[in-house]
Each structure stands twice: as C-alpha cells, then as structure tokens.
Amino acid sequence: MYLVESFLSIQGEGKYAGTPSLFVRFGGCNLNCKGFACEFISPHDGSKLIGCDSLYAVNEKHFKNEWEEYKDAKKLFSKIASHVKNITYLPHLIITGGEPLIHYKNPVFYGFLELALKHGFDVFFETNGTINIDFEKFALYKKVGFAMSVKFSNSGEPYKKRVNKKAIQNIASHAKEAFFKFVTDKKLIEQGAEEEILDITSGMHVPIFCMPLGKNRVEIKKNALPTALFCIKNGYNYSDRIHVNLWNNKKGV
C-alpha cells in the first residue's frame, strides 16, 4: 500500500462539509481524468503533466517515488493515529485517493480499516463509484459511508469506464450510508449535466450534492452561482468547497 499524504483538516465538501476530518490519501487510480486539465510538473523527469487535481496520487510513473510504502496495517494505523494523539475527539476518517477502492481486497488496506473501526472512527470513502465491492466477503465495508463522485463526460474518460451502475447500486444498497457528490460548472450545466445525473442516479434514493468546479478561489467563485441555481432547479443539495475558500489551492490541508 502506498500512502500519498495524511492530514487533519475539515471536510470541505458534501454532506459533512465543515466536520473536522482526518484525510488519508492512497496512491493509484483506475481512471485518468485528463479532461479536468490541472497542470503538474513531474518530480520524476520535469515534464508537464495534465490530469485531475489529485494527479499526484494517480500517476504512479511520475509520483510513486514520493509515496510512502506500508506493508503492515498496524504501522499504517499508528502513523495515521499519530495525527490525533493531541486532540480530545475523534474526527471523521476520510479515505481518499486516487481511487482508494482499487485496494479494497488488499490485506494491509482492509486491516487498516478494521483497526480504524475498532478504535471508534467514523469512516468515509471518497470514491469514483466504479469498483464493485464484494460486501459479503469484505463485510467491514457495510460499516462505512461512501461519497460517490461519479465522473461526467467532461472528465474525458469513456462512459463504459467511468460509469458502473452495478457498483453504484451495490454501494447504495449495502453501505451504512451513501451520497452522490458531483462537480459542475456553467459549461457542463448548459451541455447536459442534468441528463448525466439522471442517468447515473436513476432508480436510487441516494442524496445528491453538486459543487462548483475549480482548483482555486477564483474558479470556484465563477462556478458557484450557476451550480447553486442548477441545484435549486433540480432539487439537489448545494455544496461549497470550503477548503478551497480557506486555503485556496494549497495541498495537504
């Protein structure tokens, strides 16, 4: 297992926006959303890379040397628990990536989840909703929440790769809690975000949150009102992106 970063902050998005949260980001993803067009410079060879705002947790070739390898669940948990040793409460534990669920069967990952639940953490996964979890064999996943950020056409990934309705339905019907978290902007709203959301969520009674696209305060501000109006029109919940408003595009907060 490769840990990209871990830090104590607040949840900036979705149903629990504003809640103190401990973020644990693992490396690796099954998608590569170049459509989000965030630019990074490779620490590997200095080349310019294009992808999502978490590209540093997606692109193994260019970033793996910066990730920390863990072969033991106890060591991993002790590293994560060290963030809360000086506070008197347990924050939400947010497992993110990349796509964390590509590791869902990994014994180190599952062992880490077991320890986190045993120590009383409320655990939430941030997922792209493409991994079909075996909830019977890996029953601990029934005890956690899932924020499903299923990707739209603007991710640049083909429909077949980014939308797995069986996986989404499986999470919605087995997990302790699940909600959708979509990222929208004016262009996408005009080009059919409503149809894409209807398609992805059809037949499911799962809360829907939409939040403005943007990797910094200026972009979030530009997309906030169109997204809020889109939510009002369709009965979705609006979510701000508090961490961007507080810290702009700084990593690790």
* Closer of 20 and 35 to ligand SF4 (Cβ): 35
List 1, 3, 4, 33, residue binding ligand SF4 (CB under 6 A): 33
128 binds ligand SF4 (CB under 6 A): yes
List 6, 11, 21, 54, residue binding ligand SF4 (CB under 6 A): 54
- For residues 145-204, which are near ligand SF4 according to CB under 6 A? 151, 155
List 31, 93, 147, 171, residue binding ligand SF4 (CB under 6 A): 31
* Closer of 9 and 128 to ligand SF4 (Cβ): 128
Q: How many residues bind ligand SF4 (CB under 6 A)?
A: 13
Interstrand relation of 20-26 and 38-41 (parallel, antiparallel or unpaired): unpaired
Pair of tokens at residue 122: 């409320």
Task: Output the 3-class SS for 215-250.
Answer: CCHHHHHHHHHHHHHHHHHHCCEECCCHHHHHHCCC
List 3, 14, 99, 146, residue binding ligand SF4 (CB under 6 A): 99
Cα–Cα distance measured from residue 182 to residue 192, given in angstroms and rounded to the nearest whole number: 13
97 binds ligand SF4 (CB under 6 A): yes
98 binds ligand SF4 (CB under 6 A): yes
Q: Is 112 exposed, middle or buried (0-12, 13-18, 19+ CB in 10 A)?
A: buried
Cβ neighbours, 10 Å, residue 64:
15
Q: What phi and psi, each to the nearest 5 degrees, are found at residue 85?
A: -65, -20
223 binds ligand SF4 (CB under 6 A): no
Q: How far is the CB of 150 from ligand SF4 (least distance, A)?
A: 9
Comparing CA positions, the residue from 143, 51, 135, 152 lying closest to residue 98 is: 51
Cα–Cα distance measured from residue 201 to residue 210, given in angstroms and rounded to the nearest whole number: 13
Applying CB under 6 A, which part among 51-59, 163-171, 191-199, 241-249 lies near ligand SF4?
Answer: 51-59
| Interface ranges with ligand SF4 (CB under 6 A) | 29, 31-33, 52, 54, 58, 97-99, 128, 151, 155
